[in-house]
Amino acid sequence: MATRIKLKNSVVLDKVPTTSDIEVGELALNCNSGSPGAYIQDSGGSIVKLAGAGSITTPDATEAIKGIAKIATSQEVTTGTDDTKIITPAKLAAVIPSSATETVEGIAEIATSQEVTTGTDDTKIITPAKLAAVIPSSATETVEGIAEIATTTEVTAGVDDTKIITPTKLANAGYFKSGADASFGTVTATSLSGDGSQLTNVPYNQLGALPSLP
């Protein structure tokens, strides 16, 4: 009658033998259908898995090693903390919206310089470089661009030629327009008294300091 040789084994899920279970040269098996594997004790006193998931012949997959990997659940994809599992296209699509909008986070395409210039596509995003490429940094007399609004003090001083003036700032600086023949920055003497000679570039708030007219 043949002699049956039976190796040391366990049917407990994920059970791994210890150095007290097997000696160097002995083989132990995990026979559970959910975690089959073969183990030995090496010369250094460590338990080594020879076969099965995560063994030296079938290692776990990493960025540098081909191997076995488990598929992440939708919750694990959403949480984003497990760096040992893989994501399928279906799981990715389930947690990331197909397109970003004003109210929903999602994936968006970067607009081209031409699309930024045209200004009609409301579904793509603009990068700082693309924006700078189509909008001049500063407006001038000949180039459209971005300009800063002057303060009332700057309007009154009248020396800054790089900023723009609003009607409110102009009025606050004391300049006004009155009469059909008057203009901003100019007050005619006929609107005051005298012989009708013109007083040029006199702010309205400085009229009280004018000398008497002949």
Question: Is residue 159 located within the same domain as residue 211?
Answer: yes
Question: Is residue 138 located within the same domain as residue 163?
Answer: no
Residue 127 and residue 129: Cα distance in Å, rounded? 5
- What Rg value do the Cα atoms of the chain yield, rounded? 42
pTM, full prediction: 0.34
Each of the 214 residues of the chain gets a pLDDT tens digit; together they read 778 888 899 999 999 999 999 999 999 999 999 999 999 999 999 999 998 887 887 778 888 888 888 899 999 998 999 999 999 999 988 887 778 888 888 888 999 989 998 989 999 999 999 988 877 778 888 887 888 999 999 988 889 998 999 988 888 887 655 544 444 444 444 445 445 455 555 555 555 544 554 4
Question: Is residue 176 located within the same domain as residue 209?
Answer: yes
Three-state SS sequence of 4-30: CCCCEEECCCCCCCCCCCCCECCEEEE
Residue 93 and residue 76: Cα distance in Å, rounded? 14
Classify 55 in phi/psi space as left (phi over 0), alpha (psi -120 to 50) or beta: beta
Question: Is residue 163 located within the same domain as residue 208?
Answer: yes
The token duo for 121 is: 């596509």
Domain that holds residue 30: 8-51
Is residue 103 situated within a structural domain? no
CA-wise closest residue to 134 among 118, 149, 123 = 118
Is residue 1 situated within a structural domain? no
Question: Is residue 157 located within the same domain as residue 188?
Answer: yes
How would you classify the pairing of strands 27-30 and 37-41?
A: antiparallel
